[in-house]
Structure 1
Amino acid sequence: MIYLDYQATTPLDPQALAAMLPWLESQHANPHSPHAPGRAAKAAVEVARGHVAALLPPGGTLAFTSGATEALNWAIKGTTGAIVTLATEHAAVLDTVAASGRPATVLPVGPDGLVDLEVARAAIVPGTGLVAVMLVNNEIGVVQPVEALAEIAHAAGALFLCDAVQGYGRVPIPPSCDLIAISAHKIHGPKGIGALWVRDGVTLAPLLHGGGQEAPGRSGTLSPALCAGFGAAAKVAAVRQEEDAAHVAQLHAAAVARLASSWQRNGSATRRYLGNLNIRRDGLDVARLMSDLRDIAFSAGSACASGSGRSSHVLRALGLSDAQARSSIRIGFGRMTTEEELMTALDRICAAADAQRVAA
């Protein structure tokens, strides 16, 4: 199997697994208990918190959550006032905004997937409570101008929420954010754990009521194993950040050269994270392509929307037709992808797509 679906999830780093194993095999204490084993578990959680926070701006509190979806729900439901967001946001933002019942403005993006700052400035006005924007888009890899958007939000008196799930550990997160949602399994950590970073001075209503174990108000017993895995993955990401970026850039250049003659890229060619390639070939039957290439893991869009029967809302927001959106695939690669396997996979994808044209 050649794995090219890094935006859906990443392979577990061996150091993350090693950090988790003791807490799964023999150390079972509740980190919120006052006895010695509980204090040892608590210490492990705090070490992990330090590693995760090291990749975030200073001057905030990091609360572990069950994942980025919980973190985003908490950030949105825990604030007040009108909301401004983008049409290309993840469903965890768009659906939560819709469910909040608050006045909301969903801004369009251009054909490159980027928001127009002047359009944003006109929409983010006094009375806006929250602006929610993704740093790196999970489907097309476009990097939004988060720092400028945060400045516009603050000028209007609004808080700024950054969904940094796809960017955390890979691209700089602007220090002007007020709330930042992240997830472990996108940086070679375990599934089932994420975090919400809350700037000092920002208060949130609780999403989950109970013991209030996590400042600033998240209730629930933490898993030392998941925390340790997240912390180890973040520590590795910090050490390998430049090395990983260089590797991804090399893979991206090779992939673009291979695909340039017969595929079109969706989204900006320049303002993007290089480990995400969303490409299309008009008339392509993606379901047939995936069936023909079952030993290559790639995606037709967001893993969260798979099986819905709908074409990608992100691609439609770029102005693509339903048919064009349905003829697009996403290829994601990273630390553990070799150039040889990437080229092998792309050659086979291209050959299978060419075979469809011949058959037609």
Structure 2
Amino acid sequence: MTNGNEKNRIGYRYLFDSKGCSLSSREEAKINLIVSEKYDVQIYFGPKPQHGIQSESNCSKYFIPGEPASFGTVEFKKNADQSSKYGPFFLEIVVSTEANEIVSDNGAIRDLLLKQSEGRRGEFKNIINLVAGIIGLRFHRQFILELIGENVLAWEGEVPAFEYAGTALEILERLPLNDNGIKHLEVIGKKLKTLPYEDMQEYSLIFHWLLRAWHERDILYNFIDLFIPLECVLNMLSNAKISIEDKHKAKTIRASIRKHTGENSKDLLHFFNKLFERLRPTLEEAFIELAQTAKFPGWENDIEAFRNFKRMRNDLFHGRSKDVQHKLSISNKKESREFSDLVERYVNYFFFKDNKVYRSRWRPEIREKDNNENN
């Protein structure tokens, strides 16, 4: 049996290709910092990052069943100057800390250290983000312009071990479009012909963000890009709840405030606008009404899921947390909701007033509520 000791360390690394950057008076620079009294941070500027460089080539982003996929080539170069793809100047940031004590029956301490480091990935990335952000803000964004590698690290003694993860491969579906689909698009096209230009602009913005979400592979950015089109829809529904008469009255009041209140007009307008906004339903109220109108199977659970997704979004935007989940278990634990499915179903309903959003093997099944569940 082997015992881990305090010399064992775990950590994480970011490697940036600092395009156009250099040092004015030397080839390289190394800086050691301590963050929060427990994290050692090593910062390296120069052409020879100490943990080498990995590069991928000819890697597919997608796999379509029945078609060949290229898993490409992953190369590791101990010396970065051997890479023709990146460089010649890099920023490498490594964070490390003492590992928790490990006991192993087979002596595989290094594998256990790597696993421990992987489990603390988010913690380590927070430290690196802090340091890299300061460098980008105070020096220049080009120093951290392109992240080309990140690794979990483990030190059993002096020599580090690391793991490298390549590009994720998304499994797609084979999707033949039939004649009915072509005819359906032609029917939609007839409605688009008479669509007012102002409506076209508003609707286009919704689809702009939906397109971004479909292209985005980063979990956090995908969550943000998905929330925006749903929020656009809910805001449009909220605006529609304010009558034309009330909007006209508000316009008249604003004009009167500007004309008669002098130097206080700006503050009074701000106060009036806050009061007027209270006439609008909140995002949650707008979604509840939308769900009650659509009455999709499991719409009550859709409301509960939306509340949780909205809480994540608020925590994210107000700096309380950057953790998001794309799949949630509902409180009764009998169902779950995926955020992309929720957004697509309700955006589709807003435009087409049905539940005929595209079908996919990846879309979760939502069952009709059993009458016995109400008893």
Q: Give the TM-score category using the shorter length.
A: under 0.3
Greater fraction helix:
2
Query: Taking CA–CA contacts closer than 8 Å with sequence separation of 6 or more, which of the two structures ends up with the larger relative contact order?
Result: 1
**TM-score, normalised by the number of residues in structure 1:** 0.26
**TM-score, normalised by the number of residues in structure 2:** 0.25
Question: Whose Rg is larger?
Answer: 2
